[in-house]
Structure 1
Amino acid sequence: MDEQPAPDLPEGVTWIERPDDPRVRDYLHLTDVALRRVLEPAEGLYLAESDKVIGRALAAGHRMRSLLLTPRWVEDLAHLVAPAVAAGTPVHVASPAVVQEMTGFHLHRGAIAAMHRPRMPSLDEVLAGAGRVAVLEDVVDHTNVGAVFRSAAALGVDAVLVTPRCADPLYRRSVRVSMGTVFQVPWTRVEPWPGGVATLQGAGFTVAALALTDDAVTLDRLAADAPERLALVLGTEGDGLSRRTVEDADVVVRIPMGGGVDSLNVAAASAVAFWALRPEGAPPDP
């Protein structure tokens, strides 16, 4: 790794020469998914990458723990750097080579921030006033989780619930793919599951399971007479929904397919279903 001389930096900004510097421990070994799953919840940490995503996290009231940039972005992102320095938040700058060795990837968009995790809201808090809810059952791919959140934000879904084995919506890749919409859409974990189906029904929701069964109704049919409060359950990428979830749901719904295709990727299916089942007036006209 070639060493880069320290550039002239604003007061309060620290130059980092080595990827193993303890001051940037939060950013180490991001490619080790298993480690991050243990480390992040335990220490109340998640990572937000890019100016836009960090801005959305701050706008949602989340607190920055530290900020890491490469030199060329220090001036361009002064609107992030200056308030962080003023608040006493550590701001670190390192060469692209050091950042890549530290994190395991090239930082394309100039900045990554370690953020304090917000308090997880209760299920009652998230469901209060919600008309459309998405439930992600054991969706383990972080990219799919982020894509579902982005569709939910765009297409009128009021809240997202994730089951205990579902991937973390605040994992770096989920946050990045969602473009920060994980900070906009209220969400929490629902457990136990699938016992939570009865909890949703008790709260007044019609629970619709998106699955391929002989008695499934088409999405168009459900949308034509959609209930006022609807919880749409989407299943894992490989096996789909569990048998008990399908059995306990009020209705099973499918997206009609052509071309010899039986199903869509869960992220694509969520976007189709959210659009078809969007409440009247959502999303608003431009």
Structure 2
Amino acid sequence: MKPQTAPRAITLLTDFGSGSSYVAQMKGVILAALPSATIVDFSHEIEPQNILEAAIYWMEAVPVYGAATVHVAVVDPGVGTSRRILLLELEQGGLLLAPDNGIAAPLIELHRARSLFSVENVALFRASISSTFHGRDIFAPVAAYLAAGGEPSSVGPVVETYEPLELRSPTVEILDQRCTITGEVLVVDRFGNLMTNITRDLLSQFGAAPQLALSSAEVILGATSIGAIGRTYGDVEQGEVLALFDSQGRLEIAVRGGSAARRFGAATGARVRVVLDPPRA
């Protein structure tokens, strides 16, 4: 093991539910191996088996943590099958431990990876391994080993490939100087806000053009006009609908003090369009 002054922190992201004994069992294994471990609960409320939601959560949360962190994600519909478990070592030093089902793919693609390993060293696992609970029997003890300063290369062989995550990109159509960007709802958060795959950066590419005005953009959910893009929730009265950019730069549809998902009966995959018209003379 590498000498270090303090163990790495361990973060946990699962779909087990906060009241589940599964989370407690994982923590028990970690603390038995590393009593001084600092364990941070990212979330245990990922929708069951929703790999996309877990991947987006990791994309948002992992970059704000420092190098001395082991990030663990257990949203694992393929547990017990031939699917691999991956350990990703980021250039900045953070470690990501996840099933090879696409959860880690966006971070691998957005942040330079120093190395990628297949977790196969059974000496690091619990003595008895359940075919349905690798979170406790593999992820937890390996995370404790890494947090204590264990060498990432000890977990298994270097690999070059990983399972991609299918993320559809918005489409852009320009006709008679009118630009229409069509995307979809990626995630519905616990407030009922609709988080889309349309970003501020994408809109700015067109809104900054001389013939198009971002300030005149109209957001449309399905066949319902939401209106222009606001700045913050306080731009509208309680119960009113608005579109705005969230803290990650994604277009969001919300109801102040309410739920856009309930108001519109919208869910993941719902179509969202942004129409940019040329400025009026």
- Would you call these one fold, judging by a TM-score over 0.5? no
Q: Which has the higher contact order (CA 8 A, sep 6+)?
A: 1
Name the TM-score, length of structure 2 as normaliser. 0.30
Name the TM-score, length of structure 1 as normaliser. 0.29
Q: Going by fraction, where is helix more abundant, 1 or 2?
A: 1
Q: Going by fraction, where is strand more abundant, 1 or 2?
A: 2
